Amino acid sequence: MPLLDAREILAFPGGDNSSDTVIGNVHFNLTTLQHWNYTLYSNGTLSNGSWCLLTFEPYTPALVLPNGTFINVTWCWSPTEPIGVRGGVAIAYAVLFGIALVLILVNLKKHGRLHLPTEKRFFPIGRRWQWYWSSWVCATAVISLLTSIDVDRYFLPELPIVLTSFFWFLMQWGVMAVVWEAVRHWGSWMERQFIDPDPFVLRNDDRRSKVEFYLPLVFYLFLWLNFFMIVPRNWTGIELQRYPQQVIDDAAPTATDARFKTAAFMLAVCWLITVFSLWHSIKHYCPRNRGAFNRLRGLVRYTPLRFMLLLPLAAVIPAYQALVAWYFDYSPLKVGGPLASIYAGAYTPTLLILYVQILFGFFNPNEDLELQRQRRVRAQELDREMGIVHKPSWWRRVNGEHLDPNESMRDRLARNVREIHGTKRSAPDAEVTLSPPAGAPATSVEMTPVSPPPPSAPYSSRSERRRQERAMELAAGVLFSGAPEQSAATAARRREELMMDGPPPPSYRDTVENIRAAPASNVARSISAESSSSTNHPPQQIRSMLDV
């Protein structure tokens, strides 16, 4: 992009007369141009301080009206130049950030899915924040890179350099939040694994819990201070890079003022808080070491490989932001600045941080699934210590103890009857035909009543076989009570067995009627006789719990 020097002002070329001038082989009214205070510059632009237009072919205006309006005009802030090196590299970086966005959404679905009930201390959004911030970083990076294409294409710098700088600062702001959320959530995940075997091993009101509560608040306080130091400001001074002296007088002081320097300091404090959070998690959830040297070695030993890569890359971000806040020549806010420093310090660390997150996101399992696996391992260890050996999963299928999801209620009742009879199906596809006994009337029940076994001899002993037979008969009578003849026969046989112990006692109604009809003396005498007869009568022999 050409830069115009303030001293390169040209005189209007002569035309057909004193009020005519020829610019780009087109005749213009010189009086009108001078009336509206237009000035011709050596780079082919015509400007009056408010409007700027191109005068060289093929962008030469066709006509100027007496009121100062140009016909078929092309303004100086138009993308007339071809895509430069900065724009070409920006397209390549934008493609990489777009691919990263797709992979981040895949990881968000993998790690954000719940496989366990939500716990009060560990909310699902805690594990998703790092992927939400990563999506923010990809979006702002793509906007910044695509708008930087027009930085080279505009004839004079204007809105594109402001947009690319604005979204670049938002990208830097978001990538620090990505690293912070990754470290913070790792500490939360370590705490969750630590208390899962014993929820009461850690207190909720100790110093550790208070630090973990206030640390995110402090981090986001400094992060928002970085945001307010940069974003809400007048960005017009960044556009004033149209000639070298203007860069020195306007653009450089604006890009290196006290607010940008303070913002870089705030970002450095955010990085230090992130490192402290990592140290705090290792101290409380990893094995402790004695001595300063052993603690330092333990800090390096228990730091995950992911954070060994993320923290140095994240340290480059506040360092580069501080560099450009003091030296404008290396800043991405400068039009025509050195591309090596711009892309190496401004975009490459952010891109590497995202891809490190994506790589470890694919390798690390979902936390709920990992917690389930740890619980199974602990349960197996406890069973091994107690000597409990569980049967394999095929045991129930071999012994016919599994439940078929396609089994109907009729099949389940038939299986229950077979279990009562002590028999099993000979083949998986065998049919059990349940038909009513001969002469039995049809019932309205879905399953036809099964014929009970023939009545056996009266109960005379306490043998286990007889007890099982009686239990089977009672169960069959409860389940299949559709045959009245069989029910009557069973009731009669039961009454005969009860009569073996003696005549039944009089009913309550007969006793009350006799007492009302007899005199008082007879009532007392009858009660006394009944008492003496009850004491002289031999006690009833209870043979089984079924006789009670």
Most confident of 169-173, 281-285, 438-442, 533-537: 169-173
pLDDT of residue 144: 93
pLDDT of residue 400: 62
111-169 residue pLDDT tens: 989 888 888 778 888 899 999 999 999 999 999 999 999 888 888 888 899 999 999 99
pLDDT of residue 523: 46
pLDDT at 181 over 60: yes
3-state DSSP helix/strand/coil percent for the chain, to nearest 5? 60, 5, 35
8-28 residue pLDDT tens: 777 778 777 878 888 878 888
Q: Which of 62-76, 190-204, 499-513 has the lowest mean pLDDT?
A: 499-513
Question: What are the CA-CA distances from residue 346 to residues 88, 312, 330, 340, 517 (Å)?
Answer: 16, 15, 10, 10, 114
For residue 533, with 0-12 CB atoms within 10 Å meaning exposed, 13-18 middle and 19 or more buried, which class applies? exposed
Q: Which of 65-69, 223-227, 349-353, 422-426 has the lowest mean pLDDT?
A: 422-426
pLDDT of residue 537: 52
pLDDT at 357 over 90: yes
Determine the Cα–Cα distance for residues 218 and 178; give it in Å rounded to an integer.
16
pLDDT at 298 over 70: yes
pLDDT at 361 over 60: yes
User: Which has the closest alpha carbon to 26: 71, 61, 58?
Assistant: 61
Determine the Cα–Cα distance for residues 64 and 15; give it in Å rounded to an integer.
15
Say what percent of the chain tops pLDDT 70. 76
pLDDT of residue 66: 84
Most confident of 45-54, 97-106, 121-130, 422-431: 97-106
Domains of the chain: 9-71 (no CATH), 85-379 (1.20.1070), 507-532 (no CATH)
pLDDT at 514 over 80: no
- Name the residue with higher pLDDT: 189 or 456: 189
Mean pLDDT of the chain: 79
Q: Which of 55-69, 125-139, 267-281, 313-327 has the lowest mean pLDDT?
A: 55-69
Contact 104/355 with Cβ under 8 angstroms? no
Which residue has tokens 């992130």?
274
pLDDT of residue 45: 83
| pTM (global) more than 0.85 | no
Average pLDDT in the 193-205 region?
84
- Name the residue with higher pLDDT: 26 or 397: 26
Cis check for the bond before 454: say yes or no (omega within 30 of 0): no
pLDDT of residue 453: 47
Confidence of residue 312 (pLDDT cuts 50, 70, 90): very high
pLDDT at 437 over 50: no
Q: Which of 246-255, 460-469, 516-525 has the lowest mean pLDDT?
A: 516-525
Confidence of residue 528 (pLDDT cuts 50, 70, 90): very low
Determine the Cα–Cα distance for residues 104 and 129; give it in Å rounded to an integer.
12
**DSSP secondary-structure letter at 148?**
T
Contact 151/135 with Cβ under 8 angstroms? no
pLDDT of residue 440: 46
Most confident of 28-32, 49-53, 255-259: 255-259
440-450 residue pLDDT tens: 444 433 444 44
pLDDT at 505 over 70: no
Residue count of the chain, please give it.
548
217-262 residue pLDDT tens: 999 999 999 999 998 888 888 888 888 888 888 889 999 999 999 9
Residue 396 amino acid letter: R
pLDDT at 518 over 70: no
pLDDT of residue 529: 45
pLDDT at 516 over 90: no
pLDDT of residue 524: 46
The angle, 0 to 180 degrees and rounded to 10, between the axes of the packed helices 85-112 and 124-147 is 170
- Name the residue with higher pLDDT: 403 or 218: 218
